[in-house]
A and B are shown apart, each in its own frame.
Chain A
Amino acid sequence: MPTAWPEKDDNELLSLIQNGSSQAFSTLVERHTERFYRLAYRYLQSREAAEDVVQDAFIKLWENPALWQPEKNSKFTTWFYRIIVNLCLDFRKRKTLAPLDDGKQLIDEREPMDETMIRAQEQKMLEKEIAALPERQRIALNLCFDEGLTNQEAAEIMGLNLKALQSLIMRAKTTLKARLKSIL
């Protein structure tokens, strides 16, 4: 009995996509859109821009599925994170983005208003300082803290060795601590 689409692993789906299966592509998109959007959003701080980047990345994969070479890449998500990061860098080079979306969505409505406002304010300041970090430090931070990736995976995505990645994160945190000294 053939495996149902959602149960197929990424490699199986990619092999089917290489044979022109649009159903396999749909399954892959539905499975991973959210996580790739998260990373793009963290980096670009704009919903529209992040959605465009994720769409571009998936369309590139659909157009030219031979880009995925399982013998060269260990894991689809690691490889695709790298594509997303590169597209984000390109996007930033081409366009100047507004610093941050309005803070409405950052607020958790379940909390009392004062606490919520303070937290929103803290988040805004944190985002501002993260945005001011050097590019590679920002990417390292996003990969490790938001995506729940291991340092090793993040290092692979960035094409670094583990020590270099740890050093980027350490420098990023030191800078943030210094800049947010007044509120930390």
Chain B
Amino acid sequence: MAINDERDEKLDLWLHRRGLTPASSDLAQRIILRAQQVPQIRTASLWQSIRELCAEFHLPKPAYVLASALTIGLVIGFSTPQDNDSSGKDVVAAQSFLAVDEAIL
């Protein structure tokens, strides 16, 4: 029994004092340098992806004001009814005026 205990203790001691070949002193630096050459894979959540997409289209505030003014202008312009009859009358009047001028010549 005592021999067995002694063996146990000796084995534990050996296991605790096992030798080790130390790593190269520049191992950490090598890893850091290597990482600098490797691009990161970025995996983002859905919400983060949407936010990033919106950020891509970010415009400064004056640009929003200008774009809004143009949009409102276009909407108002297209929604105003056009008077087609009056423009037709103008054409007839101009043609008769020209015809009068030619008759004099």
Q: Which residues of A contact B (CB under 8 A)?
A: 20, 22, 25-26, 29-30, 33-34, 37-38, 41-42, 47, 50-51, 54-55, 58-59, 62-66, 101, 103, 105-107, 120, 122-123, 126-127, 141, 145-146, 173, 176-177, 180, 184
Contacts and interface: CB of A to CB of B under 8 A. Distances in A.
Interface of B: 7-8, 10-12, 14-16, 18-24, 27-28, 30-32, 34-36, 38-43
Contact of A33 (B28, B38, B39): B28
Contact of B32 (A20, A26, A54, A145): A26
Given A25-B32, A63-B41, A122-B14, A33 B19 contact: no
B20 A38 contact: yes
Given A33-B31, A47-B24, A63 B38 contact: yes
A81 to B, nearest CB: 16
A51 B25 CA distance: 11
Given A47-B24, A64-B41, A173 B32 contact: no
Given A26-B32, A105-B22, A184 B10 contact: yes
Contacts of A64: 40-41, 43
Contacts of B20: 38, 41-42, 105-106
Nearest to B10: A184
A25 B36 CA distance: 10
B35 A173 contact: no
For the residues of B in contact with A, the DSSP-based class is helix
A173 B27 contact: no
Given A22-B35, A180-B11, A65 B19 contact: no
A62 B35 contact: yes
B39 to A, nearest CB: 8
Nearest to B16: A145
Given A38-B20, A64-B43, A54 B11 contact: no
Contacts of B21: 41, 47, 101, 105-106
A59 B15 CA distance: 31
